Amino acid sequence: MNDDLQDISKDERLSRIVAASLEVFADFSFEDATTGEIARRARVSKRDIYAYFPNKHALLIGTMNDVLQTENVKIIQIIERSSGLPSLRDRLVAIGLRLIDEVLSIAMSVMTRLAASESIRQPLIGTVFFENGISRRIKLVSEVLSTYIATPDTMAVAIFQAAEHFIALVTHRPRLTALVGMRDMWDPGAIQAHAEAAVDCFLRAHPIFARKVFRAEGQLAKQGREIGS
């Protein structure tokens, strides 16, 4: 190793290990991904890895949490930025585009593959992936949807179920195609068209939100006519 490990902070060492783990898990199956190769790419010792992670499954969970947290920050940023968009439809399309980019990313494709394969042997891996990934995103979308309902407290279950439906419509096909190596089919135009179609399907299935969209669009059209007159 070229670096003097004594000069590397604990945070830097951990960051190197997680980044290298993601690279190795992307290049190899879980069985063939060795701690030796991870240590080589991270430019640390195997002893350093085991100081943080007692085994390879623990290392996978740590890497998964890091990827999910990074993506979580991105979706929260989009939700905050989209709050000023003129209609719920526009906002959902913006959120949908972010969710599609997420599931098509190399990092999330790798984590999805490993969650599916390794949760059989280590159920905690599946729990981490679902709770910190899918479930967290459903909660975030449900919070957005609740702001478009007059009495959200009395409809919490229905709103959560609607958020589940929205995420399934937006992410199912991109996630599936990414898993089978068909990521290249998703150029920007295809991603945009899929996001808009998924949102329109969602609004047709949940007319209570569609009414809010139509009302907002009607108000904008009225304002436009008033400005033009």
Average pLDDT for 99-128: 95
Q: What are phi and psi of 211, to 5 degrees?
A: -60, -40
pTM (predicted TM-score): 0.85
Same domain for 73 and 42: no
CA distance 140 to 99: 12
Structure tokens at 161: 């179920």
Same domain for 141 and 36: no
Same domain for 124 and 38: no
CA distance 185 to 104: 11
Residue 224 pLDDT > 80: no
pLDDT at 225: 41
Same domain for 25 and 85: no
Same domain for 85 and 38: no
Buried/exposed code over 41-52 (b: 16+ C-beta within 10 A; e: otherwise): bbbbeeebbeee
Same domain for 142 and 30: no
CA distance 170 to 69: 20
Same domain for 115 and 24: no
What digits encode the pLDDT tens for the residues 153-162? 557 888 999 9
Number of domains in the chain: 2
pLDDT at 2: 46
Residue 76 pLDDT > 70: yes
Same domain for 184 and 106: yes
Here the CATH number for the domain that contains residue 156 is 1.10.357
How high is the mean pLDDT of the chain?
Answer: 88
Same domain for 72 and 19: no
> Which domain, by its residues, includes 46?
6-54
Domain's final residue, options 14, 31, 54: 54
∠ Cα 28 34 35 (to 5°): 135
Look at residue 212 and give its three-state secondary structure: helix
Find, among 185, 217, 1, the residue nearest to 91 by Cα: 217
Same domain for 41 and 104: no
